[in-house]
Amino acid sequence: MKKIKYIAFYESLDNPLSDRQFAPSAVNKIDYIVSALIQNNYVVEIISPSWTNATKGYKRGERRKIKDNLTLTTFDTFGASTKVGRLLKYLFSLVQLFFYLIISLKKNEQIIVYHSVMLSLPLRVAKVVKKFKIILEVEEVYDDIQNFHYLMKDSENKAFKNADKFLFSTELLNSRVNPQGKPFIPIYGTYRVESNRKVAYVDERIHVAYAGTFDPKKGGASLAIETAEFLSDKYHLHIIGFGSSAELERIKSQIEDISSKTNAKVTYDGLLKGEAYISFLQKCHIGLSTQNPNAKYNDSSFPSKILSYIANGLRVVSVRINAVQSSSIGHAIEYYDKHDPISVARAINGVNLSDNYNGRAIIQTLDADFREKVRLLLVN
């Protein structure tokens, strides 16, 4: 079997005792890509420079088996409680990654790298020394979200130029960061079909779910709640997701206010994960992907919740943005054009629940297509 290294801030979700830095959403996608690599007869080693979130103590790195054909390598790290201490902690991890790359990689060896601005400099310098090849997984252009200082922006742009091939979260990223026309394939998210749990609400309502962040900058949760005012009593709008305690209280207050103005039912159903989340979605009929259509990040990221909805058999109502409409699943979405609750409600009312829609078949096609394309990307 062939071997490949994957550089990413990672920790197994089956290790609840870990205090290292990682994002669960990133880990889910990395796990999916790893599964595709393994099915293509690769042995994968994930190299994680993740540091501890602890404020004190020293933790040794390790190399451990996650499952068959997958190992995880981590580096030494230490806790820090001051700004200077945290900076040194970050640098310590990046220096270890640099020397690991210098020691372990061979000339022209291909590695996959989950795009992070922090990794740009050590990877670029190590590549000059060892002449390895980088397949850069780009989920988004971080400058679109964080409005970087020019030095950070420059570092991100150099990371793009330094890559030899790409995995993009949306086709739109190709024209954005790949003017040289280097090989790439899109992967919108995790293409895992969820089997039918055969669960359902016993009432006669149409159940609509918004799952995601309560961040007011994204605006999705608030717009979903406002939509209920323009829905009839045959609808039940469910809000599930995450946010700060202040954001959660604001969402609950908004639900209470809208509930007094509408015949539709509106409820906050908590933050659900794992099997509870899957079973909940499968009791619903429609999933909402409501976000500000004018946000800069729309052209550099794909709303992952759309795939989650489709994989669980839901129809999807989404804002009309290029990243979704131009994708290979754009035809399966019901769109709204104006960022207002009336437009969203009109799109919800326009969903045909009696057609031959098969969301799981859509995901199965994406899965098979990606596994073949990533095989070709690696061998060509």
User: Which pLDDT does position 300 carry in this prediction?
Assistant: 73
User: Which pLDDT does position 377 carry in this prediction?
Assistant: 98
Please state the CATH superfamily assignment of the domain spanning residues 2-190+370-379 in this structure. Glycogen Phosphorylase B; (3.40.50.2000)
User: Which pLDDT does position 58 carry in this prediction?
Assistant: 96
User: Which pLDDT does position 24 carry in this prediction?
Assistant: 82
User: Which pLDDT does position 13 carry in this prediction?
Assistant: 80
Outline where the chain has alpha helix (H): 24-39, 83-104, 120-130, 142-146, 150-162, 172-177, 220-227, 245-259, 274-282, 304-311, 322-325, 341-349, 359-379
Q: Are 122 and 128 in contact (CB under 8 A)?
A: no
Q: Are 204 and 189 in contact (CB under 8 A)?
A: no
| Distance (Å, whole) CA 373 – CA 73 | 27
Q: At what angle do helices 359-379 and 304-311 cross, to 10 degrees?
A: 120
Whether 124 has a pLDDT exceeding 80, the answer reads yes
Kindly list the strands in the beta sheet with 315-319, ordered across the sheet, starting from the edge strand earlier in the chain.
265-268, 235-242, 206-213, 286-289, 315-319, 333-336
Tens digit of pLDDT for each residue in 21-56? 988 889 999 999 999 999 999 999 999 999 999 999
Reduced to 3 states (helix: H, G, I; strand: E, B; else coil), residue 258 is: helix
- Measured in whole angstroms, the distance separating CA 338 from the mean position of its chain's CA atoms is 25
H or E segment at 135? strand 133-138
| Distance (Å, whole) CA 190 – CA 237 | 25
User: Which pLDDT does position 370 carry in this prediction?
Assistant: 98
Whether 273 has a pLDDT exceeding 90, the answer reads no
| Res. 15 pLDDT band, cuts 50 70 90 | confident
| Res. 142 pLDDT band, cuts 50 70 90 | confident
Provide the mean pLDDT of the chain. Answer: 94
Q: 37: how many CB neighbours lie within 10 A of its CB?
A: 22
CATH among 3.20.20.20, 3.30.420.240, 3.40.50.2000, 3.90.1580.10 for 206-360: 3.40.50.2000
| Distance (Å, whole) CA 115 – CA 268 | 34
DSSP string, 271-330: ---HHHHHHHHHT-SEEEE---TT-GGGGT---HHHHHHHHTT-EEEEE--HHHHTSTTG
Task: Count CA within 13 A, CB hemisphere, residue 73.
Answer: 13
What is the b/e burial string over 60-77, where b = at least 16 CB atoms within 10 angstroms of the residue's CB? eeeeeebeebbebbbbeb
Indicate the pTM of the whole model.
0.91
Q: List the chain domain ranges.
A: 2-190+370-379, 206-360
Share of the chain above pLDDT 70, in %: 100
Q: Do domains 2-190+370-379 and 206-360 have the same CATH topology?
A: yes
| Distance (Å, whole) CA 325 – CA 116 | 27
